[in-house]
Structure 1
């Protein structure tokens, strides 16, 4: 295996595990996580039901994105695109509650997902020549 492939697969594995575990550890305590997120957003535009729904959605989305990245193959490009979108959603929330310390981590994850998605080693469908 070339260094390029080894680096790609190692990085993909690390990013998949990172986002998978971040969601997985929250699943057993999903109600508490959702309630906590809802409480954090009590004084924002997303107070109440929207933040409660997000509190249930985000850990599940993190778990599924991580699984998709680890599976690879044809699933990976959609998982990486979903990961970028998820980071965008998280950044909106982070900015609304002014938790500036969390923002760099989300930006780094979005960039990492982007780099993996743009890699020539990530599966992509054949382009039809017309």
Structure 2
């Protein structure tokens, strides 16, 4: 097994653990998470019409993206989906001027983009088993 495949696997698991963990802890308290997010955005320019549905979709998306990346299943699509989630989160975070949170979100975005750029090393994955 080559080092590039091992590095890709470890980095994929790293961002997967973060996304999966975010979703996992939020899903049991989805209504409370949604209420917190809506309150956080009450003074922003974003209407509740956008914030409320996103506050329910986000934990589900985090959980699913994290789970798929842990498995290495639909990896390319999961990395693209994770990137889109990060773009939306960064925009929303800017709307509430939570500048301290943006660096963490940017780090996640770099993980997603970097992994996508080197997807050919995704050999320790269910995707690779299916492809054979």
The 1-side partners of 2:82 and 2:122 are apart by: 15
Alignment match, 2:77: 78
Q: Counterpart of 1:31?
A: 31
- Alignment gaps of 5+ in structure 1: 125-130
* Structure 2: 5+ residue stretches without partners: 128-132
Instruction: Quote the residue 2:54 is aligned against.
Output: 54
Structure 2 length normalisation: TM-score?
A: 0.87
Tell me how large the CA RMSD over aligned residues is.
Answer: 1.5
TM-score (norm 1): 0.88
Looking at structure 2, the residues matched to 32 and 47 of structure 1 have their Cα atoms a distance apart, in angstroms, of 19
Q: State the distance in 1 between where 2:33 and 2:53 align.
A: 11
Matches of 1:54 and 1:93, distance apart in 2 = 10
Higher relative contact order (CA 8 A, sep 6+): 2
TM superposition outliers: structure 1 runs of 4+ over 6 Å: none
Q: How does 1:1-130 map to 2 (within 5 A)?
A: 1-73=1-73, 75-119=74-118, 120-122=120-122
Which is richer in helix? 2
**Is the contact between residue 77 and residue 122 of structure 1 (CA under 8 Å) also seen in structure 2?**
no
